[in-house]
Amino acid sequence: MPRKQFFRLMPSGIVGAMALCVASPSPLHAARPAASSIPSFTAEQAQSGADLYQRACAMCHGADLSGNFQTPSLKGRLVASWAGTPLSRLTGYIQRAMPLMAPGTLSPEDATTLVAFLMRENGASPAKTALPITEKRQASLKFPALTIQPDTSPSK
């Protein structure tokens, strides 16, 4: 292509590329779901889930949810595995399979509070509306693709 033709086409090419960049969501923007897409749960539900987690789950998944060589982490990896899945599937799995030494012993309320706790620990904020307990209502809600916000507090 002759040099004159290249420079004559260049401005339209730049404008087109800029328009494409503006129209496409940035990766950082796309990683954080809209607030309305995150199922609502209360601070009380999450705290109840935290208390239950320490009694029934921490022995395998770790007090900090980090897991170990035999059990998965419940931060990050959990989101990657369950994002977009109906909450009813996650709470149902927790009820049927957890805790490992006593599967099937958790109530629907227990499983729901654990899910609220897991959402909080993976970056969701509590709200005023409780996460529903019934399977039918949870089936219409999806586990959000959350991103844990980095700790911005000053180092000690």
CATH code assigned at 51: 1.10.760.10
Asked, for residue 106, whether it belongs to a domain, the answer is yes
Asked, for residue 93, whether it belongs to a domain, the answer is yes
Q: How far apart (Å, rounded) are the C-alpha atoms in residues 49 and 112?
A: 8
Residue 138 near residue 85, CB atoms below 8 Å: no
Q: How far apart (Å, rounded) are the C-alpha atoms in residues 50 and 73?
A: 15
Per-residue pLDDT tens listing for the chain (156 residues)? 555 554 454 444 433 333 333 333 333 334 444 444 689 999 999 999 999 999 999 999 999 999 998 999 999 889 999 999 999 999 999 999 999 999 999 999 999 999 999 999 999 999 999 999 999 999 999 999 987 644 444 544
Asked, for residue 31, whether it belongs to a domain, the answer is no
Asked, for residue 136, whether it belongs to a domain, the answer is yes
Asked, for residue 29, whether it belongs to a domain, the answer is no
Asked, for residue 63, whether it belongs to a domain, the answer is yes
Asked, for residue 32, whether it belongs to a domain, the answer is no
Q: How far apart (Å, rounded) are the C-alpha atoms in residues 131 and 42?
A: 7
For residue 57, the enclosing domain spans 43-143
Q: How far apart (Å, rounded) are the C-alpha atoms in residues 81 and 118?
A: 13
pLDDT in the model for residue 51: 98
Provide the domain count of the chain: 1
Q: How far is CA 123 from CA 9, 86, 126, 144, in A?
A: 46, 18, 10, 10
- Chain-centre distance of CA 2, in angstroms? 53
Asked, for residue 19, whether it belongs to a domain, the answer is no
